[in-house]
Structure 1
Amino acid sequence: MGANVRSRMQFGIFLGPLHKPSGNPTWDLERDLQMIQRLDELGFDEAFIGEHHSSGWEIIGSPEVFIAAAAERTKHIRLATGVVSLPYHHPLMVAERLVLLDHLTRGRVTLGVGPGALPSDASMMGLDYSSLRERMEESLEAILALLQDEGTIDRKTDWFELRRAQLQMLPYTRPRPEVAVTAVASPSGPRLAGRLGLPMIALAAGTPAGQKVLAEHWRIYEEQLAAAGHPAPDRADWRLVSPIHVAPTRAQAEHQVSYAIEDAGGYFFRDSSVLTSVLNEAGLPPDAPKLDVFRASGMGCIGSVEDVIEHIERLRELSGGFGKFLIMVQDWADHDDTLKSLEVFAREVMPHFQDSNRRRLENWNTFHAGEPEFQRDLAAAGARARERYEETRRSGDGTR
């Protein structure tokens, strides 16, 4: 692991969200809010909220509006866009909404950005999906310029224009709120993040394809940072994302996700080429249960506390070290079991990576090793008390 990774790893979630289209959307959104409120109580550090406009599964069209609602229910947890699809918005609007949320949350907001994940979203807006990455870079450069306290901005591209533009409020967070860039499999993510000096979110770290490029992405990131004259990177700022469901035993975890993994897996493996590859490599039939497919895919972890710790340790080894881990939340278990999984994660997984219990265990070992001596001391104290009592009785000037 990199020498400059802080000992206390931070934890959070990446919430699409993912909900079966046949469910009640009002209740689905309410339980998402309840989940974030519970995460805040459990000591999770952050929650990323997605933006999508099609598919029927990922039903938050404005993560900023959702974050404003979640902020009213929470006290400590950082709330982040996961992500704002920059090509869908004028950069002045993105920057304005970010600064407003920064004030409303008292500095608990992060702007996660990306080009847009679903081609169907771009299609409805009449956008060429192949142009989104370029538009994202143009937008992000403009947003960063607007967040600087340096006069007005003039900028023109083939899809937006800024004329003497300036934010009417300075951010609550100085010099500005955190901005983070997604990286999936191609080198474009780490190149952009490095060139602009922004932290990365490894969105595909839970997949075999994403894991193969982790070390390479960090190398590209370091090179781009240096070439642009930015300070050396801190691995503690690197976020890795992976699907997790944890229970006291692997059998319990698998039983809990069997509640809806057939539906959730259908959306998760919607890319038929990925599904076919997994089935062929594992020798599974086309109609194999989605739990078997998920096991064979090597994506994320459904298992015991030990399984999940091993999964995160493996990611740490493959990447060379990172400081923030995000659970990609899946709608594959009952709501109560999902909350229980997060509680088990907070109680038994997080302390392993945060060095939370080292002093407690040292004290317990010392206490336990000294127990025979402590018992002798207790017995001696009791004997002394009885002796004094007998002395007072004999002398006649004491009652107890």
Structure 2
Amino acid sequence: MRLGYFAMPLHPAGRNWSDTLREDREAVILADRLGFHDAFIGEHLTDRHENITNSLVFLATLISDTDQIRLATGTTNLSQQHPVLVAANSAMFDHLSNGRFILGVSPGALPSDAEVLGILDQDRNEMFAEAIDVITAVWDSEPPYALVQPGGRFAVTTEKTYDPELGVGILPKPLQQPRPEIVGTVVAPFSKGVIAMGARNFHPLSANFLLPQWVATHWPNYVQGKESVGETADPQDWRVARTVFVADDDATAQAYARDDANSPYRFYYSQMLTKMRKIGRLELFKSRRDQPDDEVTLDSVLDQLVITGTPEAVAEQILQFQDETGGFGELVYAGLDWVDPELARRSMELMAEKVMPLVNAGESK
């Protein structure tokens, strides 16, 4: 099993923006040194806690400071910019990073982002579907372009201005051929979008805030999508994110990951719980769909979703989780605010150097 990294990221209000950006960069640089396979970075425009506004710009600052880790948008919100910009900028990034780029995509879920861009009342899922068609078509096509979908929002053409001798009317292609890996984040139980991912050879990343029984609903849908085009699904293509904290002793692990009032894990899930309750998606944290809302508490969420303890205990919990969900190719470690930088770094070190060898040894039994 590979080890990946994902950060939304989410920081307490009042922290200096420059400091948190520097901290987020340090985490990815550390992940690279520790041998993490990839790093997914999220983006939002209007959330003061999640303060990376453009994941591609942020990741560009890491190209020269990392050696092997693959740099992934986690995600590029496709309803928020023209797909030609995504295709062209991603292609350039792929060349700058010498083929270490992964395009992570989603519609963009934060309502305040949609409002500030004037698209709150539009169907962002439909915009997403159209945008991904344009991006892949741009990479697959040769100029002059005539990518026009009937009734679509995006008409991509250079037929009037194409001049091959002058070299204009030509969009760039990525270094990786036929295209970089495309990954879609999955946040809903029984997601139908995973079927489409399978049919199009995109790869799923199941969100870290889903209970194991909801994560387990993703793989059968992905298999269905692959079978619809006559292909076989490979579990190595499935990434599953989890919220993990590893410490040298259990007392430190329990305090920092759950019990302490200043725990970044408690802060993270307090924010997530409040947001999901507000937008009517509290079912993500329910063990059954008819569970009463008042049974969903912060402590219950922490108990169910935070994997913590010594390396041995964490490895055992991950293997138990895998028994519930089925096999997958990559465990994606969720990065949070570094309330205690020493503990945060130590957790990543223990995860890479102690936990994953135990997990992979346990898988082989």
The residue correspondences of 1:76-87 to structure 2 (distance < 5 A) are 76-87=68-79
The residue correspondences of 1:123-272 to structure 2 (distance < 5 A) are 123-128=115-120, 131-151=123-143, 152-156=145-149, 157-164=151-158, 168-185=171-188, 186-204=190-208, 206-208=209-211, 211-229=212-230, 231-257=231-257, 258=260, 259-261=262-264, 262-270=266-274, 271-272=276-277
- C-alpha distance 11-66 of structure 1, shift in aligned 2 (>3 A): same
Report what 1:44 is aligned to: 36
What do the CA deviations read for 1:106-156 (whole angstroms, capped 9, x no partner)?
010100001112111112112136611111111111111111154434224
Q: Does 1:281 find its partner at 2:281?
A: no
The residue correspondences of 1:64-83 to structure 2 (distance < 5 A) are 64-83=56-75
Report what 1:12 is aligned to: 4
Report what 2:312 is aligned to: 306
Report what 2:83 is aligned to: 91
Counterpart of 1:176 in 2: which secondary structure? coil
- C-alpha distance 188-153 of structure 1, shift in aligned 2 (>3 A): farther
Counterpart of 1:213 in 2: which secondary structure? helix
Aligned counterparts of 2:87 and 2:9: Cα–Cα separation in 1: 23
Give, in angstroms, the shift of residue 313 of structure 1.
1.3
Give, in angstroms, the shift of residue 332 of structure 1.
6.3
Specify which of 337, 352, 357 is matched with residue 351 of structure 1.
Answer: 357
- C-alpha distance 279-129 of structure 1, shift in aligned 2 (>3 A): same
Counterpart of 1:67 in 2: which secondary structure? helix
Structure 1: which 5+ runs fail to align?
Answer: 1-8, 285-289, 359-400
Aligned counterparts of 2:308 and 2:361: Cα–Cα separation in 1: 24
Q: Is the 8 A contact 2:102 2:180 kept in 1?
A: yes
Q: Is the 8 A contact 2:103 2:180 kept in 1?
A: yes
The code of the aligned residue for 2:218 comes to H
Counterpart of 1:141 in 2: which secondary structure? helix
Higher-Rg structure is 1
Counterpart of 1:111 in 2: which secondary structure? strand
Give TM-score scaled by structure 2 length: 0.85
Specify which of 325, 329, 334 is matched with residue 328 of structure 1.
Answer: 334
The residue correspondences of 1:104-119 to structure 2 (distance < 5 A) are 104-119=96-111
Report what 2:165 is aligned to: none
Q: Is the 8 A contact 1:137 1:192 kept in 2?
A: no
Q: Is the 8 A contact 1:278 1:293 kept in 2?
A: no
Q: Is the 8 A contact 1:146 1:167 kept in 2?
A: no
Q: Is the 8 A contact 1:96 1:167 kept in 2?
A: no
Q: What is the CA RMSD across the aligned residues, in angstroms?
A: 2.5
Counterpart of 2:322 in 1: which secondary structure? helix
Counterpart of 1:128 in 2: which secondary structure? coil
Give, in angstroms, the shift of residue 158 of structure 1.
4.2
What do the CA deviations read for 1:53-103 (whole angstroms, capped 9, x no partner)?
122111111111111101121011111000001011111100111111100
Q: Does 1:27 find its partner at 2:41?
A: no
Aligned counterparts of 1:192 and 1:129: Cα–Cα separation in 2: 24
Aligned counterparts of 1:182 and 1:221: Cα–Cα separation in 2: 13
Please, which moves more after superposition, 133-142 or 308-317?
308-317
Aligned counterparts of 1:137 and 1:307: Cα–Cα separation in 2: 41
The code of the aligned residue for 1:309 comes to A
What do the CA deviations read for 1:183-242 (whole angstroms, capped 9, x no partner)?
1214232122022121111114x432xx2233432222222222234x211110100011
Q: Is the 8 A contact 2:316 2:359 kept in 1?
A: no
Report what 1:377 is aligned to: none
Report what 2:322 is aligned to: 316
Q: Is the 8 A contact 1:52 1:60 kept in 2?
A: yes
